[in-house]
């Protein structure tokens, strides 16, 4: 009879350890259940535009886009589109990326053709404010330079410099999306891409993969004056349909 308290205590400890192990396993399952999505961008979406050391130590404030993406994705920041970087990813977001090296153009095209799902936000006249002056390598790409791969896919990104400035709304996938000094995609005769939403969107089937191109990046901006409106978050997910594996509807 004297052993009962010890036995009860031991059983309680074992039960507590088992419960903790189950909770830990569930947490790990939740962590790995999010799809891994690559993010390749010249915009300060992942690291921010503050001091790099502070951001590595967790002192920098996350951009709202990163926070929103991480609600659904295990986000992987990319600094190249070479094969090693794309290996293991089946979805990638390019947001106002830098110009690609010839080998990256080939690698990325092959990755899409082999089943990759990509969304490219390509702004011909970026309106986002940067603390860095023109010519500074840390400054986001003011004019997107993706002509080689766009031409290979059979589309051209055009810009109308007579359009009014300022942010306005355009309809994409039945959702109002903010744009500012937007571009327009034009389809070439040999293209397998469909141009939609008055040229704001191009949907390009490549082998067993898909790339959706969006001719603006103002959607990703926010001046920090209060919480980001839910409408802007909804617009982000409407544009990112392919990487969430939702089928985008054809929009005239």
Beta pairing partners, 202 = 195, 213
Full-model pTM: 0.81
Q: What is the pLDDT along the chain (252 residues), one digit of tens a residue?
A: 445 454 445 445 445 544 555 455 444 445 458 899 999 999 999 987 665 544 455 556 789 999 999 999 999 999 999 999 999 998 999 999 999 999 999 999 999 999 999 999 999 999 887 777 677 777 878 899 999 999 999 999 999 999 999 999 999 878 999 999 999 999 998 888 999 999 999 999 999 999 999 999 999 999 777 899 999 999 999 999 877 764 444 444
Can you tell me the distance from the alpha carbon of 135 to that of 47, in angstroms, rounded to the nearest whole number? 20
Check if the beta carbon of residue 107 is closer than 8 Å to that of residue 80.
no
Taking the mean position of all CA atoms in its chain, how far away is CA 24? 29
Closest by CA position to 215, among listed 174, 165, 160 = 160
Question: Which residues neighbour 175 within 8 Å (Cβ) at sequence distance 6 or greater?
Answer: 234, 235, 238
Asked if 216 contacts 183 with a C-beta cutoff of 8 angstroms, the reply is yes
Would you state the pLDDT for residue 251?
Answer: 42
């Amino acid at each position: 009879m004297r052993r009962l308290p010890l036995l009860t205590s031991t059983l309680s400890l074992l039960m507590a350890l088992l419960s903790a192990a189950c909770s830990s396993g569930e947490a790990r399952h939740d962590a790995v259940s999010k799809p891994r999505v690559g993010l390749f961008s010249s915009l300060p979406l992942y690291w921010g535009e503050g001091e790099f050391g502070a951001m590595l130590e967790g002192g920098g404030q996350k951009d709202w886009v990163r926070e929103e993406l991480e609600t659904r994705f295990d986000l992987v920041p990319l600094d190249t589109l070479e094969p090693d970087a794309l290996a293991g990813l089946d979805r990638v977001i390019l947001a106002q990326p830098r110009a690609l090296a010839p080998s990256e153009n080939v690698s990325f095209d092959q990755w899409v053709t082999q089943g990759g799902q990509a969304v490219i936000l390509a702004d011909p006249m970026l309106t986002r404010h940067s603390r860095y002056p023109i010519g500074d390598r840390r400054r986001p790409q003011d004019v997107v330079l993706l002509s080689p791969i766009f031409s290979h896919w059979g589309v051209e990104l055009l810009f109308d410099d007579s359009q009014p400035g300022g942010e306005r709304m355009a309809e994409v996938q039945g959702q109002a999306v903010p744009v500012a000094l937007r571009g327009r995609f034009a389809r070439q005769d040999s293209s397998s891409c469909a141009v939609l939403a008055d040229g704001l969107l191009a949907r390009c089937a490549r082998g067993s993969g898909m790339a959706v191109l969006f001719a603006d990046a103002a959607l990703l901006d926010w001046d920090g004056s209060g919480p980001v409106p839910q409408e802007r978050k909804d617009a982000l997910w409407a544009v990112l349909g392919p990487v969430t594996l939702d089928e985008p509807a054809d929009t005239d």
